[in-house]
Structure 1
Amino acid sequence: MELEPVTGLPEVRPGDDIAELVAERVDLEPGDVLTVASTIVSKAEGRLADLEDYPVSGRAQEIADRIEEIAGEEKDPRFAQAVLDESAELLIDVPFLLAETRFGHICPNAGIDRSNVPDHDILLLPRKPSESAERICAGLEERGYEDVPVIVTDTCGRPFRHGQTGVAIGWAGMPASRDWRGEADRDGHELGVTVQSVVDELAAAANLVTGEGAGGVPAVAVRDWEFGDHDGSDELFRAVENDLVREALRDWEFDG
């Protein structure tokens, strides 16, 4: 497998066509996978905002006050309000905000970013990242690049581990997972539970070459990778009714 960063992309502005920007800078082949950072997808879709646009509710003020008391530093209740507005559910509200976005992804601060946002205060995640991926796929096809799946990525921490890794928040043109259930291991034992999240693994691989901070490259072409002869699934975000961790968090209270 090869990973080729798509270099030379300009600062993306609202209304920019990501498929066009990418197609001008890399030659894609059928079977390649294009990973695109959610940052430039959000910018192209105009998901930039200023904190003054968020009237503070009583709950947002309470959240900011509680976190400020624990952290010992001032917290802006308008940011808490932005997180609330972007969330389907707030799973933790102290000592930090852990939210489920309206498209099902669970992450701190509903994925709202304050880095690399010129001329605005914050950058929101795309409203529906898989639909964003579909539009980029369609744009690539219009420019002669057919059968190129697209994954919209973000950087996220994980429970029980230090550090962040790339994850998929939207995808199109390929299944989210390889389903190994029913297949055999080397000893002939049938696999009963293994479902491999390939969109997350490709997002993490791409993140190795995209980088972070000021030197980041927001798109990567993945070459010579094959899904293989496996069943596929588009299930990525765990359903509420069988999410034991979410159930436990709903009953958890911070004591500190």
Structure 2
Amino acid sequence: MEVFAVEGLPEVRPGDDVAELVVERTALRDGDVICVASTIVSKANGRQASLSSYEPSEQAVRIAESIEAVAGEEKDPRLAQAIIEECEEVLVEAPFVLGVTQFGHITVNAGIDRSNVPDADLLLLPEDPAADAEAIRAGIRERTGVAPAVIVTDTSGRPFRLGQRGVALGWAGLPASRDWRGERDREGRELEATVQAVVDELAAAANLVTGEGDGGTPVAVVRDFEFGDHAASEQLFRDPEKDIVRQALREWSHARD
């Protein structure tokens, strides 16, 4: 398997066609997986925002005051309001804000970015990354006749570990997971629990070559990845009713209140 960054992409502006930008700068093949950073998808979709456009609610003011009291870090209540509006549920309010985005991703600060946003204060995550992945895939197919898979990626922290890694927010053209349940190990024992989140693993591999900071390479191509002869699953986010960590966070948050 080969992973390489697409070089020479310009600063993406609202209305830009991400598929066209990629096609102009690299030759794609059937079977490629195109990993596109959510930052440029959001920029193309006009998901920039100004802090001045947010009027803090009582909850936003409470969150800002709680973070300052607990973490000693000043939090703009307007940013807290932006986070609230991007979440369908806020799970933790302090010492940081952890919320569930409208499309099911759980992340700090609703994934709102303040880096590399030249024309605004904030860059919000895409509203529907799965639809964006499908649109980019369709745009590439229309221009080239090639139908690669597409993953819209972001970097995200991990519970119990330091550091961030690439994760998938939306995908098209490949399953989310390899489902190994029912297959057997070398001793003949049946696997009962293993479901491999391949879109997350491919996003993490892409992040190794796209990098962070001022790299300016938000798109990577994964070539010669083979899904293999395995059962497939489209589910990546846990069902809320079965997510014991989410349930524990809710109980902890209510106890703090």
* TM-score, normalized by the shorter chain, greater than 0.5: yes
- Report the CA distance between 1:147 and its aligned residue: 2.5
Work out the CA distance in 1 between the residues paired with 2:190 and 2:11.
50
Query: For the Cα contact (< 8 Å) 1:29–1:145, is it kept in 2?
Result: no
For residues 6 and 145 of structure 2, the distance between their equivalents in structure 1, rounded to whole angstroms, comes to: 15
Q: Aligned to 1:199, what secondary structure does the other structure show?
A: helix
User: Once the two structures are aligned, what percentage of the paired residues are identical?
Assistant: 65
Q: Once the two structures are superposed, what CA deviation does each residue of 1:17-66 show, in whole Å capped at 9, x if it has no partner?
A: 00000000011100010000000000000000000111111110111011
Aligned partner of 1:178 in structure 2 is 178
Cα deviation per residue 1:70-108 (whole Å; 9 max; x = unaligned)?
233432100000000000100000110000000000000
3-state secondary structure, aligned to 2:214: helix
The one-letter code matched in structure 2 to 1:204 is: A
1:177-203 Cα deviation digits (max 9, x unpaired)? 011111111111111111100000000
- Give the conservation status (yes or no) of the 8 Å contact 1:28–1:145: no
- 2:33 aligns with 33
State which drifts further: 203-212 or 142-151. 142-151
Partner of 1:223: 223
* Contact preservation (8 Å) 2:138, 2:147: no
Does residue 139 (structure 1) correspond to residue 139 (structure 2)? The answer is yes
- SS of the equivalent of 2:153 reads strand
Letter matched to residue 133 of structure 1: A
Match of 2:80 in 1: 80
Q: Flag as ranges the 4+ runs of structure 1 deviating above 3 A.
A: none
Q: How far apart, in 1, do the equivalents of 2:101 and 2:76 lie?
A: 20
The one-letter code matched in structure 2 to 1:72 is G
Shift of 1:4: 1.4
* Distance across 1 between alignment mates of 2:74 and 2:161: 27
Q: Which residue of 1 aligns with 2:120?
A: 120
Say whether residues 1:62 and 2:62 are aligned partners: yes
Counterpart position of 1:130 = 130
For 1:21, give the aligned amino acid: L
Superposed displacement of residue 215, structure 1: 1.4
> What is the one-letter code of the residue matched to 1:245?
V
Q: How does 1:187-198 map to 2 (within 5 A)?
A: 187-198=187-198
Structure 1 residues 150-161: aligned runs within 5 Å: 150-161=150-161
Task: For 1:180, give the aligned amino acid.
Answer: W
Instruction: After superposing the two structures, state which structure 1 stretch, 160-169 or 138-147, moved more.
Output: 138-147
Q: Offset at 1:145?
A: 4.1
CA RMSD of aligned residues (A): 1.1
* SS class of match (1:151): strand
Match of 2:234 in 1: 234
TM-score w.r.t. structure 2 length?
Answer: 0.97
Query: Contact conserved, 2:140 with 2:147, CA < 8 A, in 1?
Result: no
Distance of 1:199 and 1:66 partners within structure 2: 36
Measure the CA separation in 1 of the matches of 2:72 and 2:211. 31
CA shift, 1:3, in A, is 0.6
Give the whole-Å Cα distance in 2 for the aligned partners of 1:171 and 1:181. 22
Contact 1:92 1:99 in 2 (8 A): yes
Supply the AA of the counterpart residue of 2:165: T
Q: Provide the C-alpha distance between the structure 2 equivalents of 1:240 and 1:71, rounded to a whole number of angstroms.
A: 28
**Gapped runs of 5+ residues in structure 1?**
none
Q: Using the TM superposition, give the Cα deviation of residue 146 of structure 1 relative to its aligned residue in structure 2, in angstroms.
A: 2.4
Q: Which runs of 5 or more residues in structure 2 are unaligned?
A: none
